[in-house]
Amino acid sequence: MIEAGLKPSVTRKSGVALWRQIADQMRQAIGSGALGADGRLPPEFTLSQRFGVNRHTLRSAIAALVQEGVLRAEQGRGTFVESRKRLSYPISARTRFSTGLRDQTRDRRSVLLADAVEPAGERVAEALGLAAGSNVIRLETLSEADGRPVSRATSWFDAKRFAGFARHYAKTGSITASFQKFGIDDYFRHSTLVSARHADAADLTDLKLSPGAIVLVAIAVNVDPKGKPIQFAETRFAADRVELTVSTEA
């Protein structure tokens, strides 16, 4: 492929590190389509020669762009340009995952990865309004849209009130539908805490992310119509695939 648009030029001893100059030029070239127009970058060695630097120096530049989410490197295959379309995930009093992403994706589904009954930790017990050490159901779930992992959630429920919840969820793939089996036809998002951090090893695997990727973490409490907490959940979203929309309808 001819990449006529890329005119590499780096200046030594300019006060700006070579790898940074290269990263800046590559970012620009990718944006304008002069580089990686077919979604794929030339091999590291080729690029390093083109810029007139050592392969390691070029690798530093690539590493920076991988961090930013511009590129994705796969051992043995090559380095690829990341697509940047983000799904919009609404957070409101009526937040539900499946309805939230409706109309934005053709295919979406939720999978139950694991479930367990165990004594509640301090944080979980407090959020659900249970006595410390009460049994809770823990659900580990993964949600995908158009075949790509979007979020990975850990949810807790009162084991006494919601005995068998995991079984219902495994069948329906829906929290809302599972709650209905317990006579809860409606529920509300009480509060949500949003933070962001780098993906840990587990996130990388489950969400199929590159090292250094960012996850948006939403910690939420859902309550039934009477205001009693029924679900405590921590959801990790792949930050390069999702943005959160907070609707504050006053």
Partner DNA sequence: AATAATTTGTACGTATGTATG
Partner DNA sequence: ACATACATACGTACAAATTAT
# binding residues, a second copy (CB under 8 A): 37
Q: Are 240 and 148 in contact (CB under 8 A)?
A: no
Choose the binding region for a second copy from 37-45, 96-104, 152-160, 208-216 (rule: CB under 8 A). 208-216
Minimum CB–partner distance for residue 228 and DNA (Å) = 47
Minimum CB–partner distance for residue 81 and a second copy (Å) = 16
Q: Does 17 bind a second copy (CB under 8 A)?
A: no
Q: Kindly write out the interface string for residues 149-188 of this chain, putting x where it contacts a second copy by CB under 8 A and - elsewhere.
A: ---------------------------------------x
Q: What is the DSSP letter of 96?
A: -
Q: Are 240 and 82 in contact (CB under 8 A)?
A: yes
Q: Does 248 bind a second copy (CB under 8 A)?
A: yes
Q: Are 236 and 151 in contact (CB under 8 A)?
A: yes
Residue keyed to tokens 């805490």: 193
Which residues, at least 6 apart from 20, have a Cβ–Cβ distance to it below 8 Å?
61, 64
Choosing among a second copy, DNA, none, which partner's interface includes residue 77 (Cβ < 5 to 8 Å by kind)? Answer: DNA
- C-alpha to C-alpha distance for 214 and 143, rounded to whole angstroms: 17
Choosing among DNA, a second copy, none, which partner's interface includes residue 195 (Cβ < 5 to 8 Å by kind)? Answer: a second copy
Question: For 133-193, what is the HEC assignment?
Answer: CCEEEEEEEEEEECCEEEEEEEEEEECCCCCCHHHHHHHHCCHHHHHHCCCCCCCEEEEEE
Q: Which is nearer to a second copy, 8 or 90 (CB)?
A: 90
Q: Candidates 193, 202, 205, 228: give the one binding a second copy (CB under 8 A).
A: 193
Q: Does 4 bind a second copy (CB under 8 A)?
A: no
- C-alpha to C-alpha distance for 122 and 128, rounded to whole angstroms: 10
Q: Kindly write out the interface string for residues 45-84 of this chain, putting x where it contacts a second copy by CB under 8 A and - elsewhere.
A: -------------------x--xxx---------------
Sign of CA dihedral 39, 45, 51, 54: positive
Minimum CB–partner distance for residue 4 and a second copy (Å) = 28
Sign of CA dihedral 31, 106, 245, 243: negative
For binding to DNA (CB under 7 A), which residues are involved? 12-13, 15, 17-20, 41, 43-45, 52-57, 59-60, 62, 73-79
Choosing among a second copy, DNA, none, which partner's interface includes residue 183 (Cβ < 5 to 8 Å by kind)? Answer: none
